Amino acid sequence: MSDESVVEPLVEIEENGPYHVTGDIPLRNRRILYSDAGESIAWRVGELIAPSGPYRLCRCGQSNNKPYCDNTHRRIPFDGTETRSPGRARRPGQGL
């Protein structure tokens, strides 16, 4: 048996701040593909980014280190209030 402790996957939301991610949840690069007219038409899926520990994801959209948080939300008027439509909540593993 390993001495390493297993960290359960968890995403916590900091009020008016970033997502705090723990538990080795990987990220994947994605880029928007555009038509000749400049309209977004699809996503191109890129490389998998394996986490090297806990990380913080930007929610304000203004980080200079996207997708990671660089604390820009503290210098701008960012309101991170989250809302969702009424209905059944998704369970882990149900996807988007």
The structure's pTM equals 0.69
Helix (H, G, I), strand (E, B) or coil at 45: strand
pLDDT of residue 51: 84
Q: What are the domain boundaries of the chain? A: 10-74
Closest CA to 59 of 9, 8, 11, 10: 11
What's the sign of the alpha-carbon dihedral 52, 50, 93, 33?
positive
pLDDT of residue 29: 85
Closest CA to 28 of 52, 48, 55: 48
The per-residue pLDDT string of the chain (96 residues; one tens digit each, 9 = 90 and over) reads 454 677 789 999 999 999 999 988 888 888 899 999 999 999 999 889 888 889 999 999 999 999 999 999 999 999 998 776 666 655 555 554
